[in-house]
Amino acid sequence: MPDTNGPSKKIRRWTLREAADAGQLVKLICTYCKTMKRFTASDVHRLCGDLTLYQFPERFRCEKCGKKDYLVADFEAHYGPNVGKVKIRRLERIKIIHRPIWKDDII
């Protein structure tokens, strides 16, 4: 009997680039505070690079509770009855913050 605990091997190897090519959404759920956000896979791919489903949640943090350890990601296809009703987050711009790093020297 096949193992039915969790996603299949194909889904585990599915990358953000492949999901973006398929037009899928990325659903990010915080299991601690029960919040859910949806992103387009192309936006997350632009931000994080070509990662698998289990590699990229560690780069995010929950906006409500601030925890990183409770984030779970899943791919989701948008179709038929969901079109026009699903709220997603779009990447507007990437802001790079420059922080100076100082070193103490003796003259």
Tell me whether residue 103 is in a domain.
no
Q: Tell me, what amino acid is at 81?
A: P
Collapse the DSSP code of 106 into the 3-class scheme (helix H, G, I; strand E, B; otherwise coil) and give the result. Answer: coil
Tell me whether residue 2 is in a domain.
no
**Sheet with 71-76: strands ordered across:** 35-40, 25-30, 71-76
Tell me whether residue 99 is in a domain.
no
| Residue ranges making up the domain that contains 18 | 9-82
Query: What pLDDT band is residue 12 in, cutting at 50, 70 and 90?
Result: low
pTM of the model: 0.72
Closest CA to 16 of 47, 53, 59: 53
| Structural domain count, the chain | 1
Of 69 and 83, the structure prediction assigns the larger pLDDT to 69
